[in-house]
Amino acid sequence: MIKANIGLRLHDSRPGTLSERAASAASQGFRCVHLALSKVLGSGFMDAMVFTPGLAAHVRSSMQGLDIAVLGCYLNLCTPDESEYARTLEKYVAHLRLAPQISAGVVGTETGNPNTAYRYDPEHSHTDEALEMFIRRVEPVVKAAEKLGALLAIEPVYTHIVSTPKRARRVLDAVASPNLRIIFDPVNLLHPDNLSRRDEVIAEAIELLGKDIDIIHIKDYILREDGKMDSVAAGTGEMDFSAILRFAAHVKPGIQMTLENTVPENAENARIFVDGAYNEQALA
């Protein structure tokens, strides 16, 4: 049996230098990280100009033996501001150029909303027009990934354009590139509007997207009395992880699973919870 490959977002680790944060994550038993340079090193590290081989060397030497599962570039590809899109495209290409130099598994992103505020708009975000716009906007990014020998992984989110497994499948089929992959975040596919169908949504995601899933994000949720959902650390909420971890253990052995919505004080407990639940499914 291949052991669970569990990581965390490095910006959720104890504050410090890149090396200190990596050491903290390693000391808590994590094997890989989700690295958002702008959240660890400062906002200037989203600027395409800073992505040099020298920066890559600094990142590599700071990782304390941890793998980089995801290099994060979570910017809105569907802003209607064309000049902003051009700047955003440069940043994606810079991340894709850096990714192979630091042995990052994928450059990860979400799929945005069709407005400058990156805000969910129930009237427009889930339209065919928004989805077609995303496909047009992501295609140049994927072409850059192909040229640079990198992978781009999109993360479907209910409150974004690619909101369902079916819409994600449409994107994958339309772009038709082996360099376009999926980050599977089950909780991000859930919303008070579809929570009553939780297990159906998860099963559909595994069925439609399973062959293209390269990374799994693991977090939990709590449904509040006012009907809204709060994301929390794994093992502290209401999520049923059995189908997800069974898929990971039996279909995607070794897949990197990064925790979200942890703090340094509960991250190790969340890892232990996921590790135990994974082992149960692996032996089932």
C-alpha to C-alpha distances, 196 to 94, 168, 192, 220, nearest whole angstrom: 41, 21, 8, 16
CA dihedral (97, 102, 106, 109) positive or negative: negative
What is the per-residue DSSP string for 129-194?
HHHHHHHHHHHHHHHHHHHHT--EEEE--TTSSS-SHHHHHHHHHHH--TTEEEEE-GGGG--TTT
Q: List beta partners, residue 126.
A: none
pLDDT surpasses 90 at 284: no
pLDDT surpasses 90 at 95: yes
Q: What is the mean pLDDT of the chain?
A: 97
Q: Could you read off the pLDDT of 209-235 as tens digits, one per residue?
A: 999 999 999 999 999 999 999 999 999
Task: State the pLDDT at residue 29.
Answer: 98
Task: State the pLDDT at residue 217.
Answer: 98
Its pTM stands at: 0.97
Q: Which helix (H) or strand (E) holds 8?
A: strand 5-9
Task: State the pLDDT at residue 1.
Answer: 83
Of 224, 184, 214, 263, the C-alpha closest to 69 is 214
Q: Could you read off the pLDDT of 79-88 as tens digits, one per residue?
A: 999 999 999 9
Q: Could you read off the pLDDT of 169-222 as tens digits, one per residue?
A: 999 999 999 999 999 999 999 999 999 999 999 999 999 999 999 999 999 999
pLDDT band at 156 (very low <50, low <70, confident <90, very high): very high
In angstroms, the CA 156 to CA 182 distance is 8
pLDDT (average), residues 40-47: 96
pLDDT (average), residues 110-122: 96
Query: What superfamily would CATH give domain 5-283?
Result: Divalent-metal-dependent TIM barrel enzymes (3.20.20.150)
CB of 102 closer than 8 Å to CB of 71 = yes
In angstroms, the CA 281 to CA 262 distance is 23
pLDDT (average), residues 147-163: 98
Task: State the pLDDT at residue 93.
Answer: 98
CB of 109 closer than 8 Å to CB of 160 = no
Task: State the pLDDT at residue 211.
Answer: 98
Task: State the pLDDT at residue 204.
Answer: 98
